[in-house]
């Protein structure tokens, strides 16, 4: 919602009327909070609008009043992504209203994705804006098996990137400076059109990068928005996890994937793959308070082989708060993408309650081509978890008695 002309008397509540209510209704409908536009007068703050405002306040973790108050209006005036926040069809929600990563229903059926730049922006010198978008792709590539290759032929590209202004022919016109900054289209198969996976930035917004210096509050950090929109193009929707790049509003630079973003993208495409070329491989895993708490890796043995995999996890309970259920970390094995239900986990402190660390180990013998090891801390607020995963191939001809079963 953009700045209204003249002062607005706040709060606005059920029963009131006016042009601001009309804008409010538009904003709530655009982002999915007023899903079935009611047939009440378009300048009336009806009870349907009140309900939608409550949903909006819940999503943005504002005090739930059902009224358009100052904090709610300020949230609505923040620049944001043009895609809706509701309805949530695939996500999971915690008791406090946190909506964790949300698959948007789309998912590419190949991992070697391609992209093409249709144009750029003069706000950033040279073609540096393209380098920034490439950096944004690198961030997603680092936590998945996905690769992103630029192609010179638009028709060969999965993801086409463009700066567009106003009505640009895709049914979602841009609104000029402020408001909507960008949007992206859900990938196939739910989106069967050629525009699936494409990313558009609003050409009228003022795009910037650190290298050019931030000198105006209207400048928008391109890397922050590019990382977010690529998330949509890969199959993620909006969340309200604070610090996640997939939250819809632009507050400030937020260039680092949050563990919730990582968990979400790995739900779709799996974790990075470690090829096992010899008979031994290992990987470090960590789940830290500062970054949330999630780590995973997939060993690829190249073909079905017999292996032993084991993991070690150690936890540090930062609060030492005598709460002996707060040190819960879990490490899970999947073989050929099927959960084995073999896990290493720790819920009890060893030693006195509040002991600063405890160590758990587990081993798993199996047969398969891929072995996924995942480490997560369930209490992200006060627990740091560290781990290592090790895998040894057992079907080595030099090891009699361990032939493939």
Question: Segment 37-56, which members bind Zn ion (CB under 5 A)?
Answer: 38, 40, 46, 48
Residue 289, classified by CB atoms within 10 Å of its CB into exposed (0-12), middle (13-18) or buried (19+), is middle
CB 35 to Zn ion: min, Å:
12
Q: Are 299 and 313 in contact (CB under 8 A)?
A: no
Of residues 108 and 163, the one with the C-beta less far from Zn ion:
163
CA distance 225 to 180: 11
263 is catalytic: no
Catalytic residue among 229, 253, 267, 282: 229
- For 325, counting Cβ atoms within 10 Å of its Cβ (0-12 exposed, 13-18 middle, 19+ buried), the class is exposed
CA dihedral of 31, 34, 39, 42, whole degrees rounded to 10: -60
Q: Which helix (H) or strand (E) holds 330?
A: strand 329-335
Residue 122 CB, shortest distance to Zn ion, in Å, is 19
Q: Which parts of 89-128 interact with Zn ion (CB under 5 A)?
A: none
**Residues facing 332 on adjacent strands:** 343, 374
Nearer to Zn ion, 169 or 401 (CB): 169
**Shortest distance (Å) from residue 170 CB to Zn ion:** 4
Alpha helical stretches, state H, 31-154 = 47-59, 70-77, 128-141
Distance in Å from the first CA to the final CA of the chain: 64
Q: How far is the CB of 284 from Zn ion (least distance, A)?
A: 32
- Judged by CB under 5 A, which of 200, 247, 255, 306 binds Zn ion? 200
* Cβ closest to Zn ion, residue 170 vs residue 175: 170
Residue 336, CA atoms < 13 Å, CB-side half-sphere: 10
- Site for Zn ion (CB under 5 A): how many residues? 8
**Total residue count of the chain as it appears in this document:** 405
Q: Quick one: 195 or 308, whose CB is closer to Zn ion?
A: 195
The smaller minimum CB distance to Zn ion, of residues 164 and 384, is found at: 164
Is it true that the peptide bond before 87 is cis, omega within 30 degrees of 0?
yes
Report helix, strand or coil for 64. coil
Question: How far apart are CB 47 and Zn ion at their closest, in Å?
Answer: 6
Stretch that binds Zn ion, among 110-118, 200-208, 328-336, 380-388 (CB under 5 A): 200-208
Tell whether residue 25 is a contact of Zn ion (CB under 5 A).
Answer: no
Show the site string, 148-177: x = touches Zn ion by CB under 5 A, - = not.
Answer: ----------------------x-------
Give the range of 83-91, 99-107, 271-279, 306-314 binding Zn ion by CB under 5 A: 83-91
- Identify whether the C-beta of residue 143 lies closer than 8 Å to the C-beta of residue 109: no
Residue 361's DSSP bridge partners are: 312
Complex with Zn ion: residue 57 or 104, whichever CB lies closer: 104
Chain positions contacting Zn ion, by CB under 5 A: 38, 40, 46, 48, 81, 83, 170, 200
Q: Which residues are catalytic?
A: 229
């Amino acid at each position: 919602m953009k700045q209204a002309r003249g002062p607005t008397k706040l709060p606005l509540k059920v029963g009131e009327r006016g042009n601001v209510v009309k804008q409010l209704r538009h904003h709530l409908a655009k982002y999915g909070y007023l899903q079935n536009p009611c047939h009440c007068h378009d300048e009336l703050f009806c009870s349907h609008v009140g309900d939608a405002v409550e949903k909006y306040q819940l999503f943005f973790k504002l005090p739930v009043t059902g009224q358009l108050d100052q904090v709610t209006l300020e949230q609505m005036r923040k620049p944001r992504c043009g895609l809706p926040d509701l309805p949530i069809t695939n996500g999971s929600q915690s008791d406090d209203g946190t909506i964790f990563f949300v698959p948007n229903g789309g998912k590419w059926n190949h991992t070697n994705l391609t992209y093409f730049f249709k144009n750029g922006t003069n706000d950033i010198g040279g073609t540096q804006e393209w380098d920034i978008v490439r950096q944004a792709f690198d961030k997603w590539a680092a936590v998945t098996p996905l690769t992103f290759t630029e192609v010179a032929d638009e028709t060969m590209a999965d993801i086409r990137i463009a700066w567009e202004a106003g009505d640009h022919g895709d049914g979602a016109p841009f609104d000029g400076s402020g408001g909507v900054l960008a949007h992206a289209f859900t990938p196939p198969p739910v989106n069967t059109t050629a525009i699936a996976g494409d990313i558009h930035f609003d050409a009228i917004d003022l795009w910037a990068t650190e290298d050019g210096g931030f000198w105006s509050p209207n400048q928008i950090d391109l890397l922050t928005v590019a990382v977010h929109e690529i998330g949509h193009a890969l199959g993620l929707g909006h969340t309200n996890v604070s610090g996640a790049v997939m939250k819809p509003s632009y507050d400030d630079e937020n260039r680092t994937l949050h563990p919730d973003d990582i968990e979400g993208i790995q739900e779709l495409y799996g974790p990075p793959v470690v090829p096992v070329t010899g008979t031994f491989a290992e990987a470090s895993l960590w789940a830290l308070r500062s970054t949330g708490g999630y780590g995973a890796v997939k060993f690829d043995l190249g073909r079905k082989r017999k292996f032993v995999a084991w993991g070690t996890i150690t936890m540090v309970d930062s609060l030492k708060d005598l709460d002996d259920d707060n040190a819960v970390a879990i490490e899970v094995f999947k073989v050929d993408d099927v959960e084995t239900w073999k896990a290493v986990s720790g819920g009890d402190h060893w030693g006195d309650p509040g002991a600063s660390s405890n160590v758990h180990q587990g081993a798993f013998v199996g047969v398969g081509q891929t072995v996924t090891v995942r480490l997560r801390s369930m209490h992200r607020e006060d627990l740091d978890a560290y781990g290592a995963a090790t895998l040894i191939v057992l079907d080595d001809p030099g090891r009699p008695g361990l032939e493939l079963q």
